[in-house]
C-alpha cells in the first residue's frame, strides 16, 4: 500500500490494512479461492482471521507491476 493510501483505505473499509488485514495472509485456517466473475483480470478472494480477531474477506488482483488489495 502506497503512502497516503492508509487513511483512504480506512475511510472506505473501516479497517487499517497494516494492523488488521495483513493477518489474513498468515492465518493457517484461511481459505483462498479464485473469483471467476471477471474474465479480464484474475482475482483471489481470501477469508481469514485478521490481526484483531475479526474475520475478514480480502480480494487481491495480482499484476506484473503490483498486487492490488
Residues 21-49 pLDDT 10s: 889 989 999 999 998 877 788 889 999 99
Nearest Cα neighbor of 47 from 35, 55, 39, 37 is 55
State how far the Cα of 8 lies from the Cα of 37, in Å rounded to an integer. Answer: 26
pTM attached to this predicted model: 0.70
Q: For residue 16, name the pLDDT band (cuts at 50, 70, 90).
A: confident
What's the pLDDT at 7?
77
Domain definitions of the chain by residue range: 5-68
What's the pLDDT at 12?
82
Q: In this model, does residue 1 exceed pLDDT 60?
A: no
State how far the Cα of 24 lies from the Cα of 59, in Å rounded to an integer. Answer: 11
Amino acid at each position: 500500500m502506497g503512502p497516503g493510501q492508509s487513511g483512504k483505505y480506512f475511510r472506505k473499509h473501516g479497517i487499517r490494512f497494516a494492523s488488521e488485514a495483513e493477518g489474513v495472509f498468515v492465518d493457517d485456517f484461511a481459505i483462498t479461492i479464485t473469483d471467476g466473475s471477471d474474465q479480464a483480470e484474475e482475482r483471489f478472494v481470501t477469508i481469514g482471521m485478521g490481526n484483531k480477531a475479526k474475520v475478514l474477506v480480502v480480494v487481491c488482483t495480482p499484476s506484473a507491476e503490483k498486487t492490488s488489495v
